[in-house]
A and B are shown apart, each in its own frame.
Chain A
Amino acid sequence: MKDLNETNNPYCDDKVIDACSIFGMMNTTGERFSGECVIRAIANMHVRGNGLGGGFAIYGIYPEYAGCYAFHIMYLSREGKSEVEDFLKDRFRFMTAEEVPTRRTQKIVNPPLVWRYFLEVDQQKCNGQPQDDYVMDRVMEINTRIKDAFVFSSGKDMAVFKGVGYPEEIAEYFCLEEYEGYLWTAHGRFPTNTPGWWGGAHPFSILDWTVVHNGEISSYGINRRYLEGFGYHCTMQTDTEVIAYAVDLLVRKHGLPMEIVAKILAPPFWDDIERCPEDEQKLFRTLRQVYGSLLLNGPFTVIIANHGEMIGFTDRIRLRPLTAGVKDSVLYLSSEESAIRLICPDLDQAWIPMGGEPVVGSLERPIVSKGVTIAERNEAPC
């Protein structure tokens, strides 16, 4: 494991108390839109963060390279870059490599190098492994073995931009107003227990998965050990990382639908299970028994995204906030309703889902929220 002391806690801020801001916006028709409104929305929750982390995930961003794995990699030194590039050249077909465009701003100090690579996998090099598994293993190798290099994202037609700063500053730095996507998630950070550094900003990502998170995963240790058994190595020093790997394992490798994943990460209480119909009891008991080590304990709200899908939910007793909104085919998820209203004042519906109950936006089907408490009933004007 490489030494991270240099990047550790450069602001000496190791214990502060506030909240992060998270925001997600998806057009379920797949129509792409500029990030301008997402940037305004996350900036509206400026006071929730403290400038020690901001980031965005964008899906549908690179249609011209839709078939390639788009690697966004952060380098803390030139040596890291050349070592990674040698590593990648041996293992992938290079389509394009370029520095991620940035603009000089006063707010972003001492930024690392960030490059992006559009890569194809040579089937012969996989040795029979599925391509996604091959790519995941290479990401883990870079993160754990090569000094001064961290993979921000590695999926197809998607990308993560993140760093130390307020999210609107990160957006300005990476010129995000120039990109389009059909699904955006955003995060403003207030680091609590782990350092504010570029790799520790959200979203966390593996392959097509991204996670933005508000809260604290007190089960991090047990989740991490469980995931290590499946080849996932946590290197970003932040609890949220385990969620990205957990959904990759559960959905991509184990083939479970997102609604079930939500019931693994935030399972119903045993008392509630006992009051369920018999077949559901059996299901929930089985999930808790098989995947007990992936239960996320502690307060959290997450927005998890994948190609064609965005899902938001909180812990079971909702110790962190989440509001959902819908306007036509667009689903909004946010820490605060005001951020949604700012960019869409005339929502069709705005509601607050029950703790642990997922709100799902998908390209495949209508927007789902099981157990809606507000939207179905609230016909009155807001």
Chain B
Amino acid sequence: MENKVIKRTASPIDRIDATGFSSRELNARIRELAHNGTERVELYNVYGQRYIGTDLDRPIEVKIFGTPGNDLGIFMDSPRITVYGNAQDGCGNTMNDGEIVVHGHAGDIAGLSARGGKIFIRDDVGYRTGIHMKEYGDKKPALVIGGTSQDFLGEYMAGGILILLGLNLQKEEAHRTNFIGTGMHGGVIYLRGSINDFQLGKEVGTAEPEEKDWQILRKFISEFADHFGYNAEEILEHKFIKLFPLWLRPYGRLYAY
């Protein structure tokens, strides 16, 4: 599959056959290439190696063919990772900057504690997506999901932008996600498609998106559409719901008296 947004550069592509590599060996090899000035690297036969892209602090392009292991892109600071396959649990864990694009689904806790950068997932995500994402100043992570989500979406979310598009839902079909935004105390969730009130956590309120929300949605949905070959306008025509935290400290009254 061709990725349309990759800029053509003159730099050669390094290829790594990851067969038999441990997580540590594979990451050491990528780090070494990055250190030597490689700008693009393709990984083949990836089967569960963890932490791919960790500790990289330059905008190296990493394409992964296979199934990367848990904590893909953990702590990374500006690489662009594209996965041609599904991601496992903990994708984008505490990433600081960069981009992860998954041409498939992702497991649990995608975007866990992310503090910057962007994650685009074409299909569905598992439990606790965006748990404890955070933001500070101009560091504001964004996570866009093309499909639907399992429970506890945006749990304990403290900042950042979470967009759930539900593109694979049937007409009139609601998201099945329960406990959305439980413990949420910062950031924003945009949902395309319908939900019932009982699916929301007690700490979130709902609103119609305003013009500044649509600006955000247009920006990230355009990028999403470019990555996966969708028409952004068609996606944006649909109704969206904005979810926001009702309190800055939802459990403040519980523990302090």
Answer yes or no: are A and B bound together in one complex: yes
**B107 interface hit (Cβ, 8 Å):** yes
Size class of the A contact interface (CB-based, 8 Å): 20 to 34
Q: Which residues of B contact A371 (CB under 8 A)?
A: 176
Is A342 in contact with B47, judged by CB distance below 8 angstroms? yes
What are 25 inter-chain pairs, A to B, with CB distance below 8 A?
Answer: A45-B48, A271-B198, A318-B126, A321-B88, A336-B70, A337-B67, A338-B48, A339-B47, A341-B47, A341-B85, A351-B105, A352-B105, A352-B107, A354-B150, A354-B176, A373-B148, A374-B123, A374-B124, A374-B147, A377-B123, A377-B168, A378-B123, A378-B168, A380-B104, A380-B122
- Partner among A45, A271, A339, A380 whose Cβ is within 8 Å of the Cβ of B123: A380
A-B contact number at CB 8 A: 87
Give per-residue flags for A285-319: 1 if the beta carbon is below 8 A from chain B beta carbons, else 0.
00000000000000000000000000000000110
Which of B47, B68, B150 has the most chain A CB atoms inside 10 A of its CB? B47
Nearest CB of A to B235, in Å:
16
- Partner among B48, B69, B127, B198 whose Cβ is within 8 Å of the Cβ of A355: B127
Q: How far is the CA of A321 from the CA of B48 in the complex (A)?
A: 14
Give per-residue flags for A311-344: 1 if the beta carbon is below 8 A from chain B beta carbons, else 0.
0000001100101000000000000111101100
Q: Which residues of B contact A323 (CB under 8 A)?
A: 88, 107
Which of B86, B123, B168 has the most chain A CB atoms inside 10 A of its CB? B86
Q: How far is the CA of A131 from the CA of B184 in the complex (A)?
A: 56
- Do A337 and B86 contact each other (CB < 8 Å), given the known contacts A44-B48, A352-B126? yes
Q: How far is the CA of A47 from the CA of B25 in the complex (A)?
A: 14
Minimum CB distance partner of A341 in chain B: B67
- How many chain B residues touch the partner (CB < 8 A)? 33
Nearest CB of B to A159, in Å:
28
- Do A47 and B47 contact each other (CB < 8 Å), given the known contacts A271-B198, A382-B85? no
Is A382 in contact with B86, judged by CB distance below 8 angstroms? yes
Nearest CB of A to B35, in Å:
25
- Do A317 and B151 contact each other (CB < 8 Å), given the known contacts A336-B69, A342-B47? yes
New A-B contacts (14) at CB < 8 Å, excluding given A317-B151, A341-B67, A374-B105: A45-B48, A47-B50, A271-B198, A317-B127, A321-B126, A336-B70, A338-B48, A341-B85, A352-B126, A352-B150, A377-B123, A378-B124, A380-B103, A381-B1
Q: Which residues of B contact A337 (CB under 8 A)?
A: 67, 86, 88, 107
**A275 interface hit (Cβ, 8 Å):** yes
Q: How far is the CA of A47 from the CA of B103 in the complex (A)?
A: 26
Q: How far is the CA of A323 from the CA of B68 in the complex (A)?
A: 14
**B108 interface hit (Cβ, 8 Å):** yes
Nearest CB of B to A349, in Å:
11
Q: Which residues of B contact A382 (CB under 8 A)?
A: 85-86, 103-104
Which of A45, A323, A352 has the most chain B CB atoms inside 10 A of its CB? A352
**B152 interface hit (Cβ, 8 Å):** yes
Q: Which residues of A contact B23 (CB under 8 A)?
A: 47
**B59 interface hit (Cβ, 8 Å):** no
Nearest CB of B to A44, in Å:
6
Nearest CB of A to B220, in Å:
20
Q: How far is the CA of A45 from the CA of B48 in the complex (A)?
A: 8
Q: How far is the CA of A341 from the CA of B127 in the complex (A)?
A: 22
